[in-house]
Amino acid sequence: MRRQDQIAEARKLLAHLDRRTTALADGIYRNPVSDYTCPRQAAREGALFFRDGPINIGLSGLLPRPGDWMTHDYTGVPMLLVRRDDDTLGAFLNVCRHRGARVADGCGSGARSFSCPYHGWTYGVDGSLVARPEDAAFAAADRPSHGLRSLPVVEKHGMIWVGPRPDMALDVDTLLDGAADDLAAYGLQSYHHYETRVLRREMNWKLAIDTFGETYHLNYLHPDTVAPLFHNNRATFAAFGRNHRMIAARRTLDELRGQPEESWDLFAHTAIVYVLFPNTIFLFQRDHVETWHVFPGERPDSCAMYVSLYIPEPAAGDSARRHWDNNFNLLMATVELQDFPTCEGMQRGFSSGAQDSIVFGRNEPALQHYHRSVRAALGEAESRLAAE
């Protein structure tokens, strides 16, 4: 976030504290329960958001050095990403061109090539087929046209996106829709990846996004964990196309009042949440960034996600590691023991017939914006299909 915006946001938050208010939407918004339960909608979301992408993979720090590689299967499309010698990223379908086996599994570093475990066809880090046993038996299938299928990949402002279909266009600036400058100012390319954890829960994937969409619940759901640190129901909101930013006030924010505006440090006194539509959350917590990448599971009421912690300097030594471990454990305990069990209860309640819709208050503008955006995106796709 640019400096002048930080000061403007701090002013707004201080005004909210003074007036005991928060950012407000124009009215309430009723979100149909089917948004979280309908198999037909889940199928449309899977096709539109996850198989047609684009998919934000995380920050550049996931693959910092040439030869670093990772696989990604959360969309149902098997993908392989690798940092090449010229420092650019390659992305491929993780599908052997012989008979379709997975070429790589997990993640690693120092790769010079990838050898398929089935019959040993070997691909360079540029995806080209560089060797295959009994080459003569395949003479009629020339090597140049049997490299791994490339996927579009873009690395920009320290973030990585992949398109899960080989022929799709990836336009990151349109995607960020005005949030690019805001995000570029964080220098995300300089962050170091500390750890990634994977969670699977019995709830719709959008409930995980909703978890980070308001500060109205802090005093009630998190009296001993988050509430001592953050003000309840005091936040600013800004939309960037279908993305949005919410800034939550820490209880220390009042300290700014005694300081000249030029020296205000917004980061020290807030948590800044970005939702990059549709399934990615960046959470700036003072000196570090947490990213959440949430994906639908097999059913509308299941999901999988990975959570990564990125830190400003590499963790050197035991005490630094202890510090970041504690940080990560606290975050995960709050979410896993408080937020997500609540979401799973909501998910079960959705099927009970208690109500056809849930209601987002005027004080929940981020949730309103997010769910209106989901609806708009699905509606647009539907009209496109109808027109075809």
Name the residues that contact ligand FES, by CB under 6 A: 96, 98-101, 116, 118-121
Q: What is the DSSP letter of 62?
A: G
Structure tokens at 96: 């052997």
Q: What is the DSSP letter of 148?
A: P
For Fe ion, give the closer residue by CB, 103 or 303: 303
For ligand FES, give the closer residue by CB, 100 or 349: 100
For ligand FES, give the closer residue by CB, 120 or 166: 120
For Fe ion, give the closer residue by CB, 290 or 339: 339
Which residue, chain included where needed, has tokens 């928060």? Answer: 22
Q: How far is the CB of 122 from ligand FES (least distance, A)?
A: 9
301's contact among ligand FES, Fe ion, none, with CB below 5 to 8 A by partner kind, is none
Q: How far is the CB of 116 from ligand FES (least distance, A)?
A: 3
For Fe ion, give the closer residue by CB, 68 or 339: 339
For ligand FES, give the closer residue by CB, 119 or 257: 119
284's contact among ligand FES, Fe ion, none, with CB below 5 to 8 A by partner kind, is none
355: Cβ–Cβ under 8 A, 6 or more apart, which residues? 33
For ligand FES, give the closer residue by CB, 122 or 342: 122
Report how far residue 83's alpha carbon sits from residue 70's, in angstroms, rounded to the nearest whole number.
9
Residue nearest to Fe ion (CB): 339
Q: How far is the CB of 12 from Fe ion (least distance, A)?
A: 22
For ligand FES, give the closer residue by CB, 71 or 225: 71
25, 368 Cβ separation under 8 angstroms: yes
Q: How far is the CB of 51 from ligand FES (least distance, A)?
A: 23
Helices (H), the chain: 3-19, 34-37, 39-45, 172-176, 179-184, 205-210, 218-221, 318-334, 340-350, 365-387
Q: How far is the CB of 225 from Fe ion (least distance, A)?
A: 9
299's contact among ligand FES, Fe ion, none, with CB below 5 to 8 A by partner kind, is none
Report how far residue 11's alpha carbon sits from residue 19's, in angstroms, rounded to the nearest whole number.
12
127, 148 Cβ separation under 8 angstroms: yes
Q: How far is the CB of 215 from Fe ion (least distance, A)?
A: 9
Q: How far is the CB of 18 from Fe ion (least distance, A)?
A: 25
Q: How far is the CB of 244 from Fe ion (least distance, A)?
A: 17
370's contact among ligand FES, Fe ion, none, with CB below 5 to 8 A by partner kind, is none
Q: How far is the CB of 274 from ligand FES (least distance, A)?
A: 40
CA-CA distances (angstroms) from residue 81 to 107, 195, 289?
9, 18, 22
- Torsions phi, psi for 202 (to 5 deg): -90, 65
Report how far residue 26's alpha carbon sits from residue 184's, in angstroms, rounded to the nearest whole number.
30
116's contact among ligand FES, Fe ion, none, with CB below 5 to 8 A by partner kind, is ligand FES
Binding site for Fe ion (CB under 5 A): 339
99's contact among ligand FES, Fe ion, none, with CB below 5 to 8 A by partner kind, is ligand FES
13, 267 Cβ separation under 8 angstroms: no
For ligand FES, give the closer residue by CB, 117 or 187: 117
339's contact among ligand FES, Fe ion, none, with CB below 5 to 8 A by partner kind, is Fe ion
CA-CA distances (angstroms) from residue 4 to 7, 265, 378?
5, 12, 35
Q: How many CB atoms lie within 10 A of CB 155?
A: 20
316: Cβ–Cβ under 8 A, 6 or more apart, which residues? none
Report how far residue 329's alpha carbon sits from residue 231's, in angstroms, rounded to the nearest whole number.
22
98's contact among ligand FES, Fe ion, none, with CB below 5 to 8 A by partner kind, is ligand FES
